[in-house]
Structures are given as C-alpha cells and as structure tokens.
Amino acid sequence: MLPKLDFAVPEPGSTTTRTVLSGALGRVCRELPAAIAPHERGDDARSLGRVLALLSRSNPGAVASILRRPHASTLVRAMRSAPAGDAHALAVELRATLAFDLAYLGVLPCAVTLRELPPRIVSLAARVAVDLGEGLGAATFDDGHMRGEGPRGAVTLDLAAIARGAESARLHRAYRVVRGEIVLALADNNPLSGLEAHPDKTTPNTVDLGGRSEDEWLASIDGALGIIGRHLPGVAQDIDLVVQQIVPTGYDAVRHLSCSYRENVGTVYASLHPSVLTMAEALIHEASHNKLNALFDLDPVIENRDDERYPSPVRPDPRPLRGVLLAVHAFVPVACLYERMLRSELAHGVRRERLEERLAAIVRGNRAGLEVLRAHARPTPVGRALLEELSRYDARL
C-alpha cells in the first residue's frame, strides 16, 4: 500500500498518493450499488440502478469520473454510518447528482427517471449549483437535458447549453478556478459541514467569504500554492492531485482556522488570513489530512479504538490516536516548508527569526506527538511504514 516512504513528504514524480487515492476511489465505486439499491422504487427500466449496471459494463470510467469528485463521493461515504432516515435523504441527493452529471457529460446509455429529488443539485463536474426548489415531483435525465414537473409547471434545463456557458434562473455558477482542477467553491453539499469538533471553533463550516472579494481569495490561495511549489514541489504535486475544492469559511486577521472531513476527501475548509504564508501552511496541513483520510478508506493504519484518548501536540483536548497521527502527519511537511525556506533565503516578507521560531515550535510538537504514538499506538504494517517515515523526518529536523 505504501511502496515508498514518501507519503508525508513525497518526492517529485512520486506515485504513492495517486495509488492511495485510486484505491479509495475503488472502494467508493464498489459501495455505490449497495448504497442506492435500497432507495430505488420498483423495477422501472429507467431506474438509475439499471443504468449504472449498463455503464459498469460499457463505460465504467464515466461513473468513476464523477465519484472521484467530493460532491458525489462524500455522499457515499456519509451513508456508511448514517441512520436510516438520513441515509435515504443522502441517497435521493446522490441519485440526482449522478443522473445530472451523467446527463451533463453526455454518457447516459438511456434516459433516467427519478421520482424523488433534492431541492438542490451541486455539481463539481459541471461547476454549477442548480436550485430545483421544493415539490418537484419527478424528473427525467437524458444526454444534454433534464426535464421535470413541479407545482408551478415544467422545469427544463438544456445541459449542453449550460456546458457552453448559457445561464438559467435556476443556475448558479458556484465555482471559481484557482488553478488546474482546484476551485474556490461557493456552494457545498457536504452533509457533515455543520459538525465542528475543534474546541476553538463553534460555528459551522458554511460558505462565507468574510466580506472579502472572490478575487482576494483567489490571489491569496494562488500565492500560497506558489510558495509551496517553489519549496516543496512534491507536496505541491500532491495538493494538485488531492485538493479539488476550497470552501471559504470567513475572514480573520488574527487567527486562522481550517478543517477537513474524513468523508469529504478532496475538500479543504479554510478561513482567509492576510498572511499568504499562513495560507500556505493551512493548505499543506489540510491536504495532508485529505491524503490520510483517503488511506483510512483502505487500512485502519492504527488499530486502537477511537474512544481511547491521548494528549495531542496541537489540540487542548485529548484525541484518539488517529487524531494525533493526523496532526503529526500534517505538520511534518509544514516543518519541511519552513526548513527549506530558511535554506533558500526566500522568506516571502517574513522575518528569519519568525521562521526559525515557527519551525522550532512545530518540531517540538511533532516530537511530542510521535512520543505518544510510539508509546501507545498499535499500528498495522501500513501504519508502521508511515510512522517510520515521520520518525525519519523528526530525527533530521
């Protein structure tokens, strides 16, 4: 699973993270039929289940191309532990999301009719959010089109025209491209975004530009990615691979708060901070969490129970050992960033003394976290390989 010890700080050209992400995607793809089957109605020839079965034989890559994106895969992962009522609501949204995206991409082998719909469809594939409203009774999707009947008449969307840039009253182009496939997301369908476990943050992670312009957010994120690319090209390559959307959660000139969710691989939640270096640290940190969350889809890494609690180097509250591992795994590449900045003499407007102080604090925290892990963790073989990599950087730094 970890063919090289370069998961925390990959070398340029590394394929380790790509291997892990591919494995996690494979699990989601295998879970999809069982996730939606209990929520299908009857044996209609136009059911999504039948269409997915056809695609699994004729064009399996079409569904995988959608499920690799967090707006779809998060719904599948969230269904693993959701109560029955919540699971049904998630399945309704998941089915509509898949039908919409397949129709948008023009790969449906036949039309699909859905008789339950969510009030909104969010699509990273199309980079739009579509407001369906309440009460839309049914909708049929075929290549390039969606047609539904609501209490106020028919709802028709020309998806091919939307792909060409056409607008619609129901349509919100909710994504701004940062670079490559990374976007600033002004719509989010993560069903868990209202949950916040950090003791220093009590507000949910809802979309909030914090009174700043989209262009200011884009410039800050792009600047942060530039710093990472200059000093840690392997980490920058991994960020381009794993991070698909950054959800803005406000502005704070004093402290920075960011987070990610185990179910929501591909998404970073972040507030805006005036320091581009702080933004760079946050992107490395949360991208590292995303990578490890993808690995957790394939291997427990640490076999300790989640109700076991231990001191964390970065949190005031005791954490499960996986939480301690997440912290150390995220801060090792951040420490490497500051180390390489100090070696290169490119401080990006930051005093050298501040970089040295920050590096020393991170190294102290990582050492404390590793001591907890060495004393208490029961790692799998994959976990042992990862701890060996982290220990190697601890010894060097």
- CA 241 to centroid of chain Cα atoms: 11
Number of domains, the chain: 3
Domain co-membership, 319 together with 187: no
Query: For residues 268 and 258, is the Cβ–Cβ distance under 8 A?
Result: yes
Q: Which of 256, 282, 298 is the last residue of a domain?
A: 298
Q: Is 7 within the bounds of a domain?
A: no
Q: For the ranges 304-308, 312-316, 329-333, which has the lowest average pLDDT?
A: 312-316
How many beta carbons lie within 10 A of that of residue 211, not counting itself? 9
pLDDT higher than 70, residue 218:
yes
Residue 44, pLDDT > 60, answer no
Identify whether 250 is part of a domain.
Answer: yes
Which residues 6+ apart lie within 8 Å of 235 measured at CB? 9, 10, 228, 284, 287, 333, 336, 337
> Are residues 20 and 155 located together in one domain of the fold?
yes
- The pLDDT value recorded for residue 351 is 79
In tens, the pLDDT along 331-357 reads 999 999 999 999 886 655 667 888 999
* 127-168 pLDDT, tens digit each: 999 999 877 888 999 999 999 887 767 889 999 999 999 998
Check whether residue 283 and residue 392 sit in a common domain: no
Looking at the structure, tell me whether residues 244 and 234 fall in a common domain: yes
Q: Please give the single-letter amino acid code of residue 101.
A: D
Domain-embedded: residue 6 = no
- 0.85 exceeded by pTM: yes
End-of-domain residue from the set 282, 298, 314: 298
Which residue range is the domain that position 33 belongs to? Answer: 16-173
- Integer Cα distance of 272 and 216 in angstroms: 9
Do 268 and 306 sit in the same domain of this protein? Answer: no
